[in-house]
Amino acid sequence: MQFTLVVYGAPHASEGAATALRFARALLQSGHSLYRVFFYNDGVQNGSALAAPPQDEQDLLSQWQELQSCHKLDLCICIAAAQRRGVLSSSEASRLERPSANLATGFELAGLGQLAEATAISDRIVTFGG
């Protein structure tokens, strides 16, 4: 079965992102496929390279990056929500005349069209946080 996950929760504000990560791992270990993970609203903060959690907390960014690298996952950050929250790729930072970019490696900016496509292609859409 093919899944798409939609993550609405910021890594530091809710359990949504951590739960989504555990769910993604369980899916892949069970032999299911994960078409896309789409980060929306405050969930886009999961893709900020500037996140620096305290040592006694989970580093969700590095865990998402590790999962992406191992399984070649499509980790999409909603571009409109990202701009509102200051998560920018280098090309967006340049276009918007901002001093720097902070989109983490392994994540890509995407529009709602990618979420619509994932909805059409996947057997199940599961949302986390919100």
For residue 44, CA distances in Å to 6, 30, 102 come to: 10, 27, 12
Number of H helices, E strands in the chain: 5, 5
Give pLDDT, residue 14.
Answer: 87
Q: What CATH number is associated with residue 63? A: 3.40.1260.10
Q: Which pTM does this prediction carry?
A: 0.95
Cα separation, 76 vs 106, whole angstroms: 9
Q: Which domain holds residue 95?
A: 2-128
Cα separation, 40 vs 94, whole angstroms: 22
Backbone angles phi, psi at 77, to 5 degrees: -110, 125
Residues 58-97: pLDDT tens digits? 899 999 999 999 999 999 999 999 999 999 999 999 999 9
Give the pLDDT band (50/70/90) at residue 7.
very high
Catalytic residue chosen out of the listed positions 78, 82, 87, 103: 78
Active site residue 70: no
DSSP 68: H
Give the pLDDT band (50/70/90) at residue 12.
confident
Is the four-CA dihedral 32, 121, 45, 88 of positive or negative sign? positive
Q: How many domains does the chain have?
A: 1
